[in-house]
Amino acid sequence: MTRGRAGRAITIAGVLLAGFIVVSLFDGAAYRAVGATMESRARLDSAWWYQVLRQSGSIVPWLVIGLGLLVWDRLHRGRGPWQAPAMRGPYIAASAVAAGLGAELLKLVIGRERPATIRIVDGVEALVYQGYHFRGLFSGFADGSNLGLPSSHAATAAGGAFAAAMLWPRPWPRLWPLAVGVASGCAVSRVLTGAHFASDAYGGIVLGLLAAWWLGGPWLRRHPRRGSRA
């Protein structure tokens, strides 16, 4: 890595870290503003828009999209904007899977619990806010329940969405706003239910972006678009 690229990487890492710190400062306020309860969770679960946003953080739709693109590219081999063999589908699917699995692994390492835990209050299940609660590094490998940092849903959605945006920077630059919208929408859906702190969701988005960027480097160089610099 050249000195210039290393400097850019350090700058980007610093900006992303600063963003995490800033978002973390509002974690408690954001949770209290949402006011999540078991009842509000049930209402959200029945809302179609919430299900759309949440399912964008599932690996399944990205695998379907990846498989669909792979089949399309194989059927139209040599006629599309990509040199054969086209790997757009596998790249999108791999970015989503890598981000999601990476988030699950980081949860076990970091060991920070979700903002609330479910307890019985007056004989009824209720969400009880507990603030930041760290079990200790690597403690998740002994007990991986109720861990939240980073959000695997947000990471998966961001990984798939940002990978798609990296594939088609032109002539569809609007894919970047769409990708940000998908990733942010999924992240917000997790915060609205009280399942995650805002910083959990932010961390997931950053992880998804890094996964798409990391996989996209070798993938895009190996299968460049026609008319672009290899």
- The per-residue DSSP string of 65-76 comes to HHHHHHHHHHHT
pLDDT single digits (tens) 96-105: 999 999 999 9
Burial 40-76, CB ≥16 within 10 A → b, else e? ebeebeeeeebeebbebbbbebbbebbeebbeebeee
Tokens of 68: 């669909």
Confidence check: pLDDT of 229 > 70 = no
Overall average pLDDT of the 146-156 stretch: 97
Q: How far apart are CA 222 and CA 120, in angstroms?
A: 55
CATH architecture of 3-222: Up-down Bundle (1.20)
Confidence check: pLDDT of 221 > 80 = no
Residue ranges of domains in the chain: 3-222
Overall average pLDDT of the 131-141 stretch: 95
pLDDT single digits (tens) 179-191: 999 999 999 999 9
